[in-house]
Structures are given as C-alpha cells and as structure tokens.
Structure 1
C-alpha cells in the first residue's frame, strides 16, 4: 500500500502542477504578494512536501516494536524479518556504547563520506529538475504549453522508477540498477548538447528525467549498507541526505540565463557529475564485494565445512 501512496504523491507533485489548468492558475498568480508565478509554484509544492513530512513524524514508527498500528503478531513477524535480513535484531543490544555513539561511528566511517560525495555529485546532475520548465521553454512553445510538456517526462520517470526499484529489490542488486539509469541520463545530456532539434531535445528530457530511478535505488543502497547499530544508521542516513543538499546549492548556479538556450556548459557539468557518481558507486561496489568475501570466509572457517544458514551479506 505504501508503494502506491508514494507513486500517487509523485504523480501529484510532478504531473498535476504541470497540467494545463493548474499551469494557467499558477501563471495568473504572478505578482501576487509581490512574488513571481514561478516562486508560487515552488511555494505550493514545497508546502505539500513539508506538510507530509511533519505528518509522517507522528505516523511512522522508529522500529516495528514501537508501532501502534501493527498487531502483536505483525510486530513479531516484522522484527523477525529484519533480523533475518541483517543477522541481528534491532534492539538496544546492538548499541555498543549507547545511542549517542552513533554520531561518532558515523563520522569516522569513510563509507559515509564516500556515499555522501556520490549522492551530492548526482544531486548536482539532477539539478535540471528545478529548471525543467526553463528547459522545455527552449523548445519554442508558449509558457502554458511548455509547462504542460513537463508532465510526460515525469510520468515516464515514475513508471521507470517503479520498475527499476522493484527489479532491484527482487534481484538484490544495486549498482547496475543505479549505473544504467545514470548512463541513460548522460545520453540525454549528450543529445541536448548535440542538437537544437525540437523532437530530439524533448526525447533527451525523457532520458534525463528517468535518472531519478537510479537516484531512488541509491538511497535504498545507502540504507542497506549502514544497518547496525540503529543509532549509526539513523545518523548516517540523515547526514548523507543533508550533506547531499550541497548539490542543490551548487546546482542552482549550473543553469545561468547567459547559457540559454543551448545550456551546453550546464549539460557538460551534469555529465561530469553523473559520471563521477557512477565511478564512486563502482568503487563502493568493489569494496562491499570484498567484505562479502571476508564474511563468507569467516563463516567457512567457523563452521569447518558444516552446512549452515547463510549470514548477512551486503547488497552490491
């Protein structure tokens, strides 16, 4: 059910504000309270996101055992599944020095900084999202039509993201489900650089938008990698996400008006940062593969050939 709610929210956030009627309404708000129409678009979308985040703070439980909307049997089942996933429970026994130690464990783990850099790099590449109406405007249509043209690429991206995410979970593979969408996004950037043909540039926007499929899988991969103790995982996820917002700060300077309408320099930057993110993820994959080999060797040495249930392995 949660998957469908997320998809519905994404469709509402990206498709509805881009519809012709809503677009016309937003455009008519120009100079309201002294703010331009495009600012109102961000105010409205941002307000919806913040409202849902505040509500989620009181609805989403920290752990299965603290959930009030699950039955006792469902809580036990959820806890057992989490234990099977990582080989250890989510209780306080996994905290070596109390919950406050999570901050230190996070900041001293180089993998946290590595993922933070990789995520920041791809966030810079995804900065085109904030300027998507500007990019569709380069196709030469009216403002209303340009806003309407924003909808199909994000509808396509929603479908691709759902398929890629589900397949990644089913196969237990992360890197290639990240690298392939990023690569197709780079192809879109290259097409946008290479031609001013309207059809080709619009196709490029579809390829660029589906890059978010890899971004979503990367967030899941980060969560899979930092599993225990719970305090470290909580701090790591928050820190990496917060750090990556530096990419949005940098991305706001990647699309200056003086590079209009080709934005070749902008696309060159996004190609570079997307490529860097792929390289960083590949190095992390190699590292996690080596850790999995060590875990397997330790199990074999401990059991001396006795067949046992396979323990925890990092997703790669």
Structure 2
C-alpha cells in the first residue's frame, strides 16, 4: 500500500470518528481505512481520509490499463462490427438476396433495438451478480455465434429472429464494460479509459469497411458467398476473442492475480476514497440504491442527451455506406466501402481527444457543449448543399462531434452516484436511453427521402441542437445545486442514522457534490 510519504496523516477529528467505531493504533490506520472491513474511507463531508503516493498510483494505473483495456477494447470492436456490418452487407446484396421490400430493411434494424432496450438494465444487473470477468466474455461468445448464424439466413423472418437474439446478448456490452471499468478507476480517470474502448465504435466503422471490402474479394468462404461471408468470418473472430476474454478478465482488484497485495490495497483504497459514506467497494444489491442510480437527476438528464446523440451515432453506423453511395453512385462497391473509412478515423480521434481532456480538467459537461456544434455544422452542410464534396466533408464533422458522447455520458452518470449498485443501474439506464435513440435512428433515413435525406439530416440537426441546450442547462443546475449543498449542516442531517441508512442516501448524502 503506497501512501504519500509512506504515512497516513488523519486529522484529530477523523481519528476521533474512527475511534468511535473501533479501537485502533495509528500504525494500523492505513489498513483500517482501505480494508473491506465495513469502515468508511471519507469523512462526513466526502473528504478522503488517506493521501496516496502519486508515483505509485501512476504505476498502478498503467498496469491496470495494460491488463484491462486491450481485451475489452477488442471485444467491443467486434461487438460493434457484428451489429453494424449489416450496413456493409446491404451494399453487397443483403436486401436483394432476402427479397426485402420497402421498409423491411428498417424493420430488421429495429428488431435488434427492441431486445437491446428491454434487456439493458437487467443485463447490467446480471453483470454485477455474476461478475463482469465471466459475464462479458460469455455474452461476447453468444453474439459472435449470432453473427455467424446471420450468414445462413434465407428470408426476412429469419433475419429478424437472429437480430433479436443479437440484441439480447449485445445489450450488456457497452454498460457492462463501463460498469466494470468503474471498479478500477477514479472519477477523473474514467472518461478517458471508457474512450479507449468506446473509440472502437468509430474504428469499427472504419475497420468494418476495410474488412468487408477485403472479405468481398474472396471467392467464397466454405459454402458462403458475398455478404454471407462478412457475417460468418467476423462472427468467428468474435468467438475467438471471447475465449481469450475468459482467460484474461478478472472481476475486481481483490481477485486480480496480476496485482501484488499492496497494489490490490491501493487499487481498492483509491476508488473507495471518492465515495462518501461508503464502507465497502462492492456492496450488496439494494432496491433503494438501484433506484438512486436510475432516478438521479444527472442520470436522467445525461441519458436523454445520450438518446439524442445515439440517433446520430447509430444512424452513421447503419446508413453511412448508403449515404456514401448516394454521394458517389458511379463508384464500385469496394470503393464505396473504402470511402466510409476516413470519417470514422476522424471520429475516433475526437473520441479519444475530448475524454482525454476531460481527464486532465476533470470536466465532462463542457465537452458536451463543445461537441454538439460540430455535428450541427455538419448537418447544416448536408441540408444546404447537394455538392458531393461538401456532403462528404459533412460526414467528417458529424463523426467528430458524435462519437465522444459514449465515453463522456457513461462517465458522467458513473461519477454522479456513489455505490457500486447505483453505478450499475445508472450506466444501464444511460445506455438503455441511448439505444432508444438507436431505435429511432433505424427510421431516420427512409427510402423515399433519398438521395438527399432531408428528413434524416434535419432530425439529426434538431437533436444536436437539443443536446447543446440541455447540456448548458444541466451544467448550470449542477453548479447551483452544489452551492446549495455547501450551506447544509452535514452532521445535523446524518445524526441518528445508521451506517446502512447513510449508505442508502447515495447522491442524496449532504456531503456529496455533483461532478460536472
């Protein structure tokens, strides 16, 4: 356990608070605070009772980065590819071979989101109950199998059935990984670490286009041809990665074989030191805490912002190949696939840039406010011009502004609740709302609206404008409410409450402060 100057220096008041709970000596205080023994790691005002050696923290953080981030990033990369490769398959004859008419393609997309939305919160609760070290690889294996099965569908009904199953298993990935990483990182660190796997969303668009164009050059894969090869090959890769995940992921710091005991203590203590009133890092299920996570004002506001953003993000995932086809109708299918790659690369850059800056400044809402105008400008370009170069340039701005919200929104809701249970339900709620936006996106670009898609582009301009307004309002509310909390008498409000009652207050704890 690395403490600043190798010592712990609690105040006399803090020592008095501790001595009321258990008779301990100063030499035992470090272990007393960090051990999962039912003791708090902050005072009643939310101030941490320990100081940590920043060098030791940086070394531990880098070790966690190396062990955790690569595996979850690769799993999420192919999660998104297995979801969005239907857009690439569409260019390669998916609709024609299945005899899809009218709005059938939109319906196939929508079916995925029905199950995706329904199972979002239950899946994250199951992730907490089973443990993310097993749960995340298990659902990855399942949706990899679903992707392979998509390569064998022969009609509209079968396609809908497989996409419904895909939605069930993929429902747990985005919130599950976000919840998993919140067990390892501090509040300020979380957004950037989330971005390291959420960046796989735009990279999946870029890599998916490259991979699809490469697969389509193959004469066959077993008995499969054209778009069927895309689903089968990409699904097999996912299955292989999920098997690796079973070997490499570990539930929490306390069970990590690749950490020393001192590193485990430090990992637990530094997360615990930010949770006011918390006596255990991994608490038991509590209905009150689940509702605290779902009904937090910041969870609801951020989730609605994520809903609006996902109309753009998922719309790009499913329809960018189609949009590129309308811009460059005379190009070959492979050329059209390759033209989808550069906008995603730009989107990936900003997906890392904004969360990185949020880590350094420990702010998130301000980057909501910065991101929205980028997308708004892009959709104005779509609406105002029919020039191919202008419209293609607009896709870069839309991708630059839209993709960073995934990391920022999930970090925002995770940082603004206290308990592990509340974080799991808050993240699940946020992603559930986001996928309602995904469902809307499947009907944002309709066949009769092409090739200019005024309805789809107008809808996305409107949603980004709403994001800008809501983000400004939420920032102002958080600042004002924090000022109100400064005037509250923490000791008087907590007097007479048991430890359990204090913990169940969560964000209603008078010592808690919103983290904008």
Partner of 1:132: 320
Unmatched 5+ stretches in structure 2: 1-65, 74-195, 493-510
Partner of 1:149: 339
1:282-308: CA deviations, max 9, x gaps? 322222212322343448999xxxxxx
Partner of 2:270: 81
1:122/1:12 CA distance change after superposition, 3 Å:
closer
1:263-297: CA deviations, max 9, x gaps? 11100001111222232233222222123223434
* Superposition pairs of residues 225-240 of structure 1, within 5 angstroms: 225-226=416-417, 228-240=418-430
1:60-88: CA deviations, max 9, x gaps? 45543343432211111122221333445
Would the aligned equivalents of 1:182 and 1:214 in 2 still touch at CA under 8 Å? no
State whether structure 2 residue 403 is matched by structure 1 residue 212: yes
User: For the residues of structure 1 that align with 2:436 and 2:236, how far apart are their CA atoms?
Assistant: 21
User: For the residues of structure 1 that align with 2:406 and 2:361, how far apart are their CA atoms?
Assistant: 18
Bigger Rg, structure 1 or 2: 2
User: For the residues of structure 1 that align with 2:404 and 2:454, how far apart are their CA atoms?
Assistant: 24
Selected match of 1:222 from 395, 413, 438: 413
* Cα deviation, residue 107, structure 1: 4.2
Would the aligned equivalents of 1:125 and 1:271 in 2 still touch at CA under 8 Å? no
* Superposition pairs of residues 245-260 of structure 1, within 5 angstroms: 245-260=435-450
User: For the residues of structure 1 that align with 2:206 and 2:487, how far apart are their CA atoms?
Assistant: 50
Would the aligned equivalents of 1:125 and 1:269 in 2 still touch at CA under 8 Å? no
Would the aligned equivalents of 1:179 and 1:214 in 2 still touch at CA under 8 Å? no
Partner of 2:309: 122
Selected match of 1:203 from 371, 374, 393: 393
Instruction: Tell me the SS of whatever aligns to 1:114.
Output: helix
Deviates more, 1:240-249 or 1:110-119: 110-119
Would the aligned equivalents of 1:157 and 1:209 in 2 still touch at CA under 8 Å? yes
User: For the residues of structure 1 that align with 2:310 and 2:235, how far apart are their CA atoms?
Assistant: 18
Would the aligned equivalents of 2:321 and 2:337 in 1 still touch at CA under 8 Å? yes
1:78/1:176 CA distance change after superposition, 3 Å:
same
1:59/1:85 CA distance change after superposition, 3 Å:
farther
Partner of 1:282: 472
Partner of 2:373: 183
1:52/1:258 CA distance change after superposition, 3 Å:
farther
User: For the residues of structure 1 that align with 2:352 and 2:204, how far apart are their CA atoms?
Assistant: 16
1:223/1:146 CA distance change after superposition, 3 Å:
same
* Superposition pairs of residues 60-71 of structure 1, within 5 angstroms: 60-71=249-260
Deviates more, 1:6-15 or 1:112-121: 6-15
Unmatched 5+ stretches in structure 1: 303-310
* Cα deviation, residue 312, structure 1: 5.8
Would the aligned equivalents of 1:106 and 1:112 in 2 still touch at CA under 8 Å? yes
Aligned length: 303
1:65-120: CA deviations, max 9, x gaps? 3434322111111222213334454616977xx53433333344444333322211
Would the aligned equivalents of 2:203 and 2:348 in 1 still touch at CA under 8 Å? no
Q: Return structure 1 stretches of 4+ with deviation > 6 angstroms.
A: 27-30, 32-36, 92-95, 299-302
1:190-228: CA deviations, max 9, x gaps? 1111112122112111111112123322222122112x2
1:13/1:93 CA distance change after superposition, 3 Å:
closer
Instruction: Tell me the SS of whatever aligns to 1:119.
Output: helix
1:43/1:256 CA distance change after superposition, 3 Å:
farther
Q: Output the aligned Cα RMSD.
A: 3.5
Would the aligned equivalents of 2:216 and 2:230 in 1 still touch at CA under 8 Å? yes
* Cα deviation, residue 125, structure 1: 2.4
Instruction: Tell me the SS of whatever aligns to 1:255.
Output: coil
User: For the residues of structure 1 that align with 2:474 and 2:247, how far apart are their CA atoms?
Assistant: 34
Selected match of 1:241 from 425, 431, 437: 431
* Cα deviation, residue 121, structure 1: 1.5
* Cα deviation, residue 314, structure 1: 2.6
User: For the residues of structure 2 that align with 1:192 and 1:14, how far apart are their CA atoms?
Assistant: 20
1:239-272: CA deviations, max 9, x gaps? 2212321111111011112111111110000111
Deviates more, 1:271-280 or 1:80-89: 80-89
Instruction: Tell me the SS of whatever aligns to 1:138.
Output: helix
Would the aligned equivalents of 2:324 and 2:339 in 1 still touch at CA under 8 Å? yes
